Chains A and B, each alone.
Chain A
Amino acid sequence: MTRILIGLVAAMMLAFSMATIAQDAAPVDADATRADSNAAAAANARSQDQFRGIDQDVQALKKEVLDLNRDLFLLEEELLFPANSQVAFFVSLDVGEYFELDSVSLKIDGKEVANYLYTAREVDALMRGGVQRVHMANLKTGRHELIAIFTGKGPHVRDYRRGATLYFEKGIGAKYMELEITDRVKKQQPEFVIKEWE
């Protein structure tokens, strides 16, 4: 019982002393805050003129960043956006009486990019009106050279090898080119034409 009483008294004394400390501490905090705010105000007043100068610099920098961002966006659109840099090459055969297609070889800017051998079934499909995508490339904007070399059997079942060249301008946006083999009835010879799809 005595122990419980001693414990109770000790707890009350501890609580009282804590409250006293809190009361003593409160005025000290308030004073410190006031002092800090005064100091901050003084510092603000002192640096206000400097801030105006810096603000102008930041605005100028922001403008430069926006300009750079616009340039980067345009550059990205021009170079990195794959769908826009695509060029697809298609082969079609119209009639095909004077030419039996064997293979097509494509060179872009002097570099061989495709070499396709046609089976009898594939030639038959082309003769029935099929269009074959022979190659797909990603090209930069600007001028490019396309050379298509066609080999096969020409009139009188003779080995035939013909080339067609086209310079084309690659702009923004996908581009489609058709390599068309047609019959020139007047000359009884095949004709090889490269066309750009609009």
Chain B
Amino acid sequence: MTIKNVFFGLVLSISAATGLASSGLEGQPAPDFALKSSTGENLRLSEYRGDVVMINFWATWCGPCRQEMPLLDELYSRYERVGFNLLGVNIDDDSYRAMQMIEELGVNFPVLFDSSKTVSELYEVEAMPVTVLVDREGTVRYVHHGYKPGYEDKYLDQVRSLLRE
């Protein structure tokens, strides 16, 4: 783990803990992006228009992400066939560590690599993890900063209500 990563993680943790992170993205069209995925395929957000999409920003050095990811994977497995997609965006400088962690956790949702941090800047990621919910129209509906046990129930309710729309 580099000093840069430690510093970045520290800043994000502090901002999440103090509740400084706030998003002006809710209600706005989700900024489009294309990233390389863990399968080698390039994925573009706009190609998921018509589906409910959850974008989860995570990093290998983030403890809560490790807790949250298996729960998100459960959500993905349950609702994938009814138009729900989950894109995990990893922000590590080195995608190798991310690949290791995916294997270790055994998650199945597509993981994208944003090593240049362009997408995390687009989504104003100021904490780790950040979970963004985009509706069928491509509008950002909910943004969650950080993770605490119990958040998964909130995600479940929100995903279900968006799928019903």
Contact = CB atoms under 8 A, between A and B. Distances in A.
Tell whether A and B belong to one assembly: yes
Interface of A: 102-103, 116-122
B157 interface: no
Interface residues of B, number: 8
A161 B6 CA distance: 34
Interface in B25-71: 34-36, 41-44, 47
Nearest to B46: A119
Interface of B: 34-36, 41-44, 47
21 contacts: A102-B42, A103-B42, A116-B34, A117-B34, A117-B35, A117-B36, A117-B42, A117-B44, A118-B34, A118-B42, A119-B34, A119-B41, A119-B42, A119-B43, A119-B44, A119-B47, A120-B41, A120-B42, A121-B44, A121-B47, A122-B44
Contacts of A103: 42
Nearest to B34: A117
Given A117-B34, A117-B42, A119-B42, 18 more contacts: A102-B42, A103-B42, A116-B34, A117-B35, A117-B36, A117-B44, A118-B34, A118-B42, A119-B34, A119-B41, A119-B43, A119-B44, A119-B47, A120-B41, A120-B42, A121-B44, A121-B47, A122-B44
Nearest to B35: A117
Contacts of B43: 119
A153 to B, nearest CB: 9
Contacts of A118: 34, 42
Nearest to B40: A102
A120 B44 CA distance: 10
A125 to B, nearest CB: 11
B45 to A, nearest CB: 10
The 9 lowest CB-CB distance pairs between A and B, nearest first, are A117-B34, A117-B42, A119-B44, A119-B42, A121-B47, A118-B42, A119-B47, A119-B43, A119-B34
A127 to B, nearest CB: 15
